[in-house]
Amino acid sequence: MKLIAISHPEFILNEAERINALFRDGLLRLHLRKPGGDIADLNRLLGKIDPEFYPKIALHHHHELAAQYGLTRLHFPEKLRNDTPETMFQKLKNAGFQLSTSIHDIEQLSELSSAFDYTFLGPVFDSITKKGYQRIVNDDFCLKEDQKTIKVIAIGGINHSNIHKIKQMNFDGAAVLGAIWNSEASDFQFLKIHKLQFISNQTAGLSHLESIKLALTAGCRWIQLRVKNQPENEVLEIAIAAKELCDSYAARLIINDFPHVVKAVNAYGLHLGLNDMQISEAREIVGYNMIIGGTANTFEDVLLRINEGADYIGLGPFRFTTTKQNLSPILGLDGYRVLMQKLSEQKLSIPIIAIGGILPDDVAEILATGIHGVAMSSALIQSKETKETVQKLEEILC
């Protein structure tokens, strides 16, 4: 499911730094929405955002700034859409812009220009930021496929505890505002779990560090160092170099299997398997704020991981792979569907990362099950155009 962040409606303290941090935490799309905001203030804010993130920003107002910053995503709030001729939408689309808009009534869906890629529809819950702005649907609402002339993103009052309902309502994604900006420590922890994770591997022609460099230059910003069958002191040596490499790309480094190495190199996180140390025990080594992911193969494993306090779950294998030995039973798309359905019925939500033999062409279907993201190793290492592959994957995952 797409997860889109909407900026705070006003200019806030350290906003550019907070936006940069959200992108570094894995955000794939931000809508810059400052209703009534001054163009000079917006210009200043954009100037402080890392240019690496401009392709991920959609601009709501002062579209004239798009050219200056090379922004290619424009949002048309309702009034601006009504004031803009259809020929202009087609012209912008033909020029390569991605267009989005907002509606507040399902009936409007059929009237929208085909030039739009997606629309926000809401509020789906009572808004957190706009007090007294009542929701337009009930909990049992379900968007029909034939109503979706374009992708429909739910907006309004979405937070960590109700986001599972968005999928049940058959929306294509969720746009979040209040839950990000109005809480001290964001209750949107799962924004921190990247949707595209690279798993390092050593192959005939490539060392772990070379595989990591390949993924980083292609644009991956979540790297798992997964060294098997080597003693801890050798893993530590590789981890020190991997951390330096990841830092130079502002990427997150997760280390598989070795909590003491995580602690020693101050990595971003640790990944533990079902036969590894318990998450609670590992927390005593790596600290309580460290990201810890846990492997699961069944629904019972997922419940166990949630109870253990995992930050994300690596669920697999999706299909057979030679990257890992002693594979657990293969889940396939149906396995993911059944498991995600059970989670949704129990109103449980945790970022789930699919893993195992995943190819770029699998990702859209995997995502449609409600899975948060994917971890890949061989598909990226063996890709002939890794950068293009990563770009395409990010488009699908956003």
Ligand X SMILES: Cc1ncc(COP(=O)(O)OP(=O)(O)O)c(N)n1
* Residue 228 DSSP code: -
324 is in an annotated binding site: yes
Q: Which of 353, 366, 379, 380 binds ligand X (CB under 6 A)?
A: 353
φ, ψ dihedrals at 220, nearest 5°: -70, 140
| Cα–Cα distance measured from residue 153 to residue 176, given in angstroms and rounded to the nearest whole number | 10
Q: Which of 29, 34, 192, 226 binds ligand X (CB under 6 A)?
A: 226
Place of tokens 């057979």: 320
| Cα–Cα distance measured from residue 60 to residue 8, given in angstroms and rounded to the nearest whole number | 12
| Cα–Cα distance measured from residue 255 to residue 268, given in angstroms and rounded to the nearest whole number | 8
**Contacting ligand TZP within 164-203 (CB under 6 A):** 199
Asked if residue 292 lies in contact with residue 311, where contact means CB atoms within 8 angstroms, the answer is: yes
Region from 83-91, 146-154, 276-284, 362-370 binding Mg ion, contact rule CB under 5 A: 276-284
Cβ-based nearer residue to Mg ion, 87 or 229 = 229
366, two tokens: 């995997």
CA-based radius of gyration for the chain:
21
Shortest approach of Mg ion to residue 209 CB, angstroms?
Answer: 20
84 is in an annotated binding site: no
Region from 17-25, 39-47, 255-263, 380-388 binding Mg ion, contact rule CB under 5 A: 255-263
Asked if residue 352 lies in contact with residue 173, where contact means CB atoms within 8 angstroms, the answer is: no
270, two tokens: 């640790």
| 301 binding Mg ion? (CB under 5 A) | no
Q: How many residues bind ligand TZP (CB under 6 A)?
A: 15
Picking from 159, 102, 157, the residue whose alpha carbon sits closest to that of residue 126 is 157
139 is in an annotated binding site: no
- Binding positions for ligand TZP, rule: CB under 6 A: 199, 226, 316-317, 321, 323-324, 355-358, 376-379
Residues that bind Mg ion (CB under 5 A): 257, 273, 276
Residues placed in the known binding site: 224-228, 256-257, 276, 295, 321-324, 357
Please report, as ranges, the residues that interact with ligand X according to CB under 6 A.
197, 224, 226, 256-257, 271, 273-274, 276, 293, 295, 314, 316, 324, 353, 355, 375
